[in-house]
Amino acid sequence: MIALARRRTELGLIVLASLVTAGAFALAGLGETATLPANIVPFLALVLALLLVAHIATRRLAPGADAILLPLAALLNGIGYVFIARLDEAARDEGSLAGLQAIWTALGVGAFVATLLVVRRARDLRSYKYLAMMVGVGLLMLPLAPVLGKTLNGARIWVELGPIGFQPGEFAKIALAVFFAGYLADNRELLGLTALHPKYLGPVIVAWGASLMVMFFQKDLGSSLLFFALFVVLLWVATGRALYVLLGATLFGGGATIAYRSFDHVRERVSTWRNPWPEYRFAGNQVLESWFALADGGITGTGLGLGTPTRIPVVETDFIFAAIGEELGLLGTGAILIAFLLMIGAGLRIAIRTEEPFEKLLATGLTTLLGLQAFVIIAGTTRLLPLTGVTLPFVSYGGSSLLGNYILLALLVRISDDGAKRRGEVTS
């Protein structure tokens, strides 16, 4: 009965998310051309169809799962798509970003369903932790390959296979979360000892070294912080020892200092963060234009289709939060933040309610990835932190990001359903 009520709630929220997305799409069209988009009905039908596929898969394959994860992801994905379609005017010479994002969204829903089909019990992933480690490290290092790797905007995080380009780090983070959760579930008692043997610090040093490799050789500050923070947070949760947080912060701070002194790219990012005004026409242009956009938006925004966010370079990926702030104002950006907070809260609730150590750590790790990635990119847009190359989950343009985050979402759904079955909330 509880499971059925959750699915009914999920369906109602999905319909509401679809209506909000379609309404935003219509308002964006009215703002630009003063007429309703001709494809508003097919657009609504497509959105509903994709979300219903995901809902039916959840109802059949994970009936006891949390009811708000999928609707929140659908809402964020839908709002992101509306803004990408709105910004597509400036990118028509390079192809339709909106069309590509629609394809990636469909593939993301397919990846969500496929993950639920393949991973029938989350705890089974524990047996593949070392395979996950090899896959994760391999994907993380793949952009360094001489032929495959590609440097873009100073960071070597892309891989090109013929006409297809993707960021393997988006999938590496999930594989590493599985490994870290499995390793720490097996060794949490030893790692929690007061008199810790130096050999058990090995994983901390390895994680530190891997994050430094990403920072030094790929020049990707965001991913480096993301991967190392993931391990430190899981280590803290597994052992309850705050010492690991202090040690991790010290190690990462030392590595960041070395990177700052060694690489012009890192120094430029920090310099732009501290004072972007001297570099207004160059490195500081993105940050300052995002400020102007947020200032123009004020409390309620200029209105969908009535702002000028296209003046921000690469706005559809790194700075889509600023575009939302300009046209929807503080209320719109606040709604986005609340949606992420609700997702993070749901993920942590799943972790708290499950009794299996591996599942608890995996849910915590996946939620940490989602929350920290959102924080890092929003903080970069608002100049709370130096700008990094990560995307806003479910919102920014990008196929790798959408696929990776829908897989992450499916794993959280699976862990939630497994916990509900153990608590007797799902009846056959």
- Residues 222-266 have pLDDT tens digits of 777 787 788 888 888 888 877 778 877 887 777 778 777 776 767
- Among 136, 128, 165, smallest CA distance to 148 is for 165
Instruction: Say if 396 falls within a structural domain.
Output: yes
Instruction: Say if 61 falls within a structural domain.
Output: yes
Write down the residue that tokens 């794993």 correspond to: 411
| pLDDT of 94 over the 50 cut | no
Q: Looking at 196-220, list the stretches that DSSP marks H as alpha helix, in order from N- to C-terminal side.
A: 202-217
**pTM as predicted:** 0.91
The amino acid sitting at 312 is: I
Q: How sure is the predictor about 201, in pLDDT bands with cuts at 50, 70 and 90?
A: low
The amino acid sitting at 33 is: T
Of the listed ranges 71-85, 254-268, 378-392, the one predicted with least confidence:
254-268
Q: How sure is the predictor about 90, in pLDDT bands with cuts at 50, 70 and 90?
A: very low
Q: How many CB atoms lie within 10 A of CB 206?
A: 13
Sequence-distant (6+) residues with CB within 8 A of 405 are 73, 108, 170, 370, 393, 394
- How far apart are the C-alpha atoms of 59 and 57, rounded to whole Å? 5
Instruction: Say if 199 falls within a structural domain.
Output: yes
Of the listed ranges 138-142, 157-161, 413-417, the one predicted with least confidence:
157-161
Instruction: Say if 427 falls within a structural domain.
Output: no
Instruction: Say if 86 falls within a structural domain.
Output: yes
How many domains in the chain?
Answer: 1
Residue 150 has phi, psi (to 5 degrees) of -140, 135
> 215 to each of 37, 140, 231, 266, 321, how far by Cα in Å?
44, 11, 16, 9, 25
CB 140 within 8 A of CB 168: yes
Q: What is the pLDDT of residue 326?
A: 94
- How far apart are the C-alpha atoms of 6 and 353, rounded to whole Å? 16
In whole angstroms, what separates CA 67 from the centre of its chain?
A: 20
Instruction: Say if 332 falls within a structural domain.
Output: yes
Model pLDDT for residues 315-369, shown as the tens digit of each residue: 888 889 999 999 999 999 999 999 999 999 999 999 999 989 999 999 999 999 9
Instruction: Say if 428 falls within a structural domain.
Output: no
Computed over every residue of the chain, the mean pLDDT equals 83
- Domain with 121, as residue range(s), is 2-422
CB 76 within 8 A of CB 68: no
26-35, long-range: CB within 8 Å, 24+ apart, which pairs?
27/303, 27/304, 27/305, 28/82, 28/83, 28/85, 28/86, 28/304, 28/305, 29/305, 30/304, 30/305, 31/303, 31/304, 31/305, 31/306, 31/327, 32/86, 32/89, 32/305
Instruction: Say if 77 falls within a structural domain.
Output: yes
